[in-house]
Chain A
Amino acid sequence: QSVLTQPPSASGTPGQSVTISCSGSSFNIGSNTVNWYQKLPGTAPKLLIYSNNQRPSGVPDRFSGSKSGTSASLAISGLQSEDEADYYCAAWDDILNGVVFGGGTKLTVL
């Protein structure tokens, strides 16, 4: 069982918007920033969002992140077929003294 909780699945149709949640505690999300990764099958994870809401160079502005209290969200607007992937949230955990990941959310573009 993962320290950070994500819904196992999410879906949407092309052009729609979808939001993926990530729930933690005061020891991780509540006191540290959240990062999001996109993982396509057979490829390495790709950093999508760091520091709650910052996009690395090259990541489309269709992807956005937010954090409130002990929860964070990844929003994807204008869904495209190539967005079909697994998405993981991650944060530092002050109790475990390490990085913890969510269990991942499989996004299906219908």
Chain B
Amino acid sequence: QVQLHESGPGLVKPSETLSLTCTVSGGSISSYYWNWIRQPPGKGLEWIGYIYYSGSTNYNPTLNSRVTISLDTSKNQFSLKLSSVTAADTAVYYCARRLPRTPQYCSGRSCPLAFDIWGQGTMVTVSS
């Protein structure tokens, strides 16, 4: 049973860089897309971006210039860095796995970008 677990500081100062790590247990990090999603207090979900096990990435254009997602296959971990944070970046941050791109879930070459396994989430507050 694959499980995800986020870790990192719960408090970050304005203008600094938010850094979180997601540890994948019970399975390999290979052959999947790994995502970060956040939810500000009282608001909805926002996709931050993903990294493929090959290292290719795709980021939410509204955050693109501030986001870096990286992978450490030796540790079965992937990480999020969000620079120049403000109070608006205060949120619960989730890591999540994309549904496998297998014939079970795909129709031809079209595969859903749905998130089937999530971490429990970690609250990050931006405050001085």
Please give the residue numbers on chain A whose beta carbons come within 8 Å of chain B beta carbons, in ascending order. 2, 33, 35, 37, 39, 43-47, 50-51, 54, 56, 88, 90, 92, 96-104
Task: Report the bound CA distance from A45 to B47 in whole Å.
Answer: 13
Task: Report the bound CA distance from A46 to B99 in whole Å.
Answer: 12
- Asked if B61 contacts A92 (CB within 8 A), the reply is no
In the complex, what's the smallest C-beta–C-beta distance from B49 to chain A, in angstroms? 8
Q: Name the residue on A nearest B116 (C-beta).
A: A47
Enumerate chain A residues within 8 angstroms of B118, measured Cβ to Cβ.
44-46
Enumerate chain A residues within 8 angstroms of B10, measured Cβ to Cβ.
none
- Asked if A98 contacts B119 (CB within 8 A), the reply is no
In the complex, what's the smallest C-beta–C-beta distance from A91 to chain B, in angstroms? 8
Enumerate chain B residues within 8 angstroms of A103, measured Cβ to Cβ.
44
In the complex, what's the smallest C-beta–C-beta distance from B8 to chain A, in angstroms? 16
A-B pairs under 8 A by CB, number: 68
For B35, B37, B59, which residue has the most chain A Cβ atoms within 10 angstroms? B37
- Asked if B45 contacts A56 (CB within 8 A), the reply is no
- Asked if B45 contacts A101 (CB within 8 A), the reply is yes
The answer, among B45, B49, B116, for a CB contact under 8 Å with A104, is B45
Enumerate chain A residues within 8 angstroms of B72, measured Cβ to Cβ.
none
For B60, B105, B115, which residue has the most chain A Cβ atoms within 10 angstroms? B115
Q: Name the residue on A nearest B50 (C-beta).
A: A99
Task: Report the bound CA distance from A44 to B60 in whole Å.
Answer: 20
Enumerate chain B residues within 8 angstroms of A88, measured Cβ to Cβ.
44-45
- Asked if B44 contacts A44 (CB within 8 A), the reply is no
- Asked if A56 contacts B60 (CB within 8 A), the reply is no
The answer, among A44, A100, A101, for a CB contact under 8 Å with B121, is A44
Enumerate chain A residues within 8 angstroms of B110, measured Cβ to Cβ.
33
A97 and B61 in contact (CB under 8 A), knowing A44-B118, A51-B107, A88-B45?
A: yes
Contact indicator per residue, chain B 80-122, by CB within 8 Å of chain A (1) or not (0): 0000000000000010100100000101001011111011110
Task: Report the bound CA distance from A53 to B119 in whole Å.
Answer: 24
